[in-house]
Amino acid sequence: MARRIRTLALVAGGAVALGGAGWAAVGFGGADPAAPERSSLPPATATVERTTLVETEEVEGTLGYGAARTLSAARGGSSGQGLLTWLAGEGSTVSRGETVYKVDAVPVPLLYGKLPVYRTMRSGVEGSDVLQLERNLRALGYTGFTVDKTFSSATAEAVRQWQEDLGVTETGRIEPGSVVIASGRIRITDHKKAVGDPASGALLTYTGTTRMVTIDLDVDLQNLAEKGAKVTVEIPGGDSVEGRIAKVGSVATQQGGEAEEAEAASTIEVVVSLSDDRGLGRLDQAPVDVRLTADRERDVLAVPVAALLALPDGGYGVQVVEGSTTRTVAVEVGMFADGMVEVEGTGLGEGMKVGIPK
């Protein structure tokens, strides 16, 4: 379950109070905004910037290949009867046309699509499942037929050529259970049966081959999860990778058992796609931190948090450095983010120098 790790505004706010007290202790704070200029220079300076501040919220997520699906033997065809004689290895990747498992030494290959093979496809049959089959045949390099919704005699001939290459009986038909359908390449996660077992029931589990981050996000933070929004994922070891929110669940799930029911938090599932996972090694089911955007302020003046001074009458100011003289300008503070704070004050402008401790 995701939990709030820190809120940067609050952390930064605490730093302001400590920083202001520190400045006052060494004689740089506590000045009256209307006091005359003085020549005491701060130990260091920073520039007043006009920028965009982004406040983030850090939550916990899990890096992996997404939820595993179970592949069960279908009735009929080359599956659902006989014995398992081969299974693609756990952790291996299977692509279109490659064998997922074998029953009585007959290979059951993978094809891409959404529709299961729910009926026998043969000459004269029409439908979207036929179109799906023909697209796969074309992608595998078989030709001589029109890719449409009609299983023609030319389609049957292409199927026979494919079956010959697979080393199975050349029927020119596709039976339920003779192929596995998935949306793309699959990664075998666990075997549910072993070689020699009956080819029935659950055979194995699999996932997609692209790693993603799954977050169980507290519902009180759901306003931070917007589909398409950019996020930063920090992985074990200190590296980070950019990502985007690909999916935001709409159904809340309550976390915790019955004994914790009173304190149980409700969450929604958020899925983050990664821009590049080549640098992630073999990480799977690894805990990661995800930075979500909590707020954004554009085109504002900002200074380092350490530049803030605690004024004796309350509020904050900054010490503006002009040559060999300084003056204190009272400021209104806004957003805190990444060590910077939004400020607004009379006479304060972009490019000015303000005092900060070393």
Helix (H) or strand (E) holding 289: strand 286-304
Angle, CA of 200, 204 and 205, to the nearest 5°: 140
Task: Classify domain 69-207 by CATH number.
Answer: 1.10.101.10
**Regarding the domain delimited by 60-65+210-292, which CATH topology (the fold level of the hierarchy) does it fall under?**
Elongation Factor Tu (Ef-tu); domain 3 (2.40.30)
Task: Looking at the chain, list the stretches that DSSP marks H as alpha helix, in order from N- to C-terminal side.
Answer: 8-25, 128-139, 153-166
Contact call for residues 165 and 109 (beta carbons, < 8 A): no
In the chain, what's the furthest Cα-to-Cα distance?
A: 98
Helix/strand/coil percent split, the chain, to 5: 15, 40, 40
DSSP labels for 47-83?
A: E-EEEEEEEEEEEEEEEES---EEEEPPSSTTSSSSB
| Cα–Cα distance list, 299 to 49, 54, 124, 126, 343 (Å) | 9, 11, 66, 60, 11
| Paired tokens of 309 | 């001074």
In this prediction, the residues of the chain whose per-residue pLDDT falls under 50 are: 1-31, 34, 77-80, 259, 262-263
Note the pLDDT of residue 308: 95
Note the pLDDT of residue 296: 83
For 129, phi and psi rounded to 5 degrees? -65, -35
Domain 6-57+296-356 listed as CATH 3.30.930.10: no
Domain segments of the chain: what residues?
A: 6-57+296-356, 60-65+210-292, 69-207
306-353 confidence digits (pLDDT tens): 999 999 989 999 999 999 999 999 999 998 988 999 999 999 999 999
| Paired tokens of 184 | 């793309």
Mean pLDDT value across the chain:
85
